[in-house]
């Protein structure tokens, strides 16, 4: 089964309340799953990488034999593909987790850069997560 995994992550005030969103569909476009997660205080890049990790591992859990990961961060797609080095230690840790997950899986994965307008649902879900985080912080203050 091939899954298309759209991911996005963001942070308000970078670093600030961060969240990520994952939208998984099958090849025919039918919706498989929507997820979002508040990450606490983090950077945009940490949120992006966390979204990728969550999306890839969830697609594998769902039984994917092929995954096409789509994200709107060209730089990070190049890093995940191995074309650019990951220098930041925190990002490198997540990058290693992603590659560890992939190495124990027998399927095929491709990384595709998409424009923001083609990633609206993952973006919306990451904003839902950030909104929840902002509410948590404003209530605990």
Average pLDDT of adjacent 10-residue blocks, the chain of 141 residues? 97 94 94 95 96 97 97 93 93 94 94 96 97 63 40
Q: What is the pLDDT of residue 123?
A: 97
In the chain, DSSP finds a helix count (H) and a strand count (E) of 4, 5
Q: What is the pLDDT of residue 106?
A: 95
pTM > 0.85:
yes
124-134 core/surface letters (b: 16 or more CB in 10 A; e: else): ebbbbbbeebe
Task: Give residue 140's pLDDT.
Answer: 39
What is the pLDDT, as a whole number, of residue 137? Answer: 52
The 10 Å Cβ neighbour count of residue 74 is 12
- Which tokens go with 89? 């230690």
State the fold for domain 2-140: Nucleotidyltransferase; domain 5 (3.30.420)
Cα within 13 Å of Cα(95), Cβ side: 17
Domain ranges of the chain: 2-140
């Amino acid at each position: 089964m091939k899954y298309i995994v759209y991911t996005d992550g963001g942070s308000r005030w970078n670093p600030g309340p961060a969240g990520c969103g994952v939208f998984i569909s099958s090849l025919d476009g039918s919706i498989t799953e929507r997820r979002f997660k508040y990450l606490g205080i983090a950077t945009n890049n940490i949120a992006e990488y966390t979204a990728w990790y969550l999306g890839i591992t969830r697609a594998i859990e769902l039984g994917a034999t092929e995954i096409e990961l789509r994200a709107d961060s060209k730089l990070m797609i190049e890093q995940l593909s191995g074309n650019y080095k990951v220098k930041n230690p925190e990002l490198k840790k997540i990058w290693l987790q992603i590659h560890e997950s992939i190495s124990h899986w027998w399927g095929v994965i491709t990384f595709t850069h998409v424009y923001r307008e083609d990633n609206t649902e993952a973006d919306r879900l990451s904003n839902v997560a950030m909104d929840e985080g902002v509410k948590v912080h404003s209530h605990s203050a």
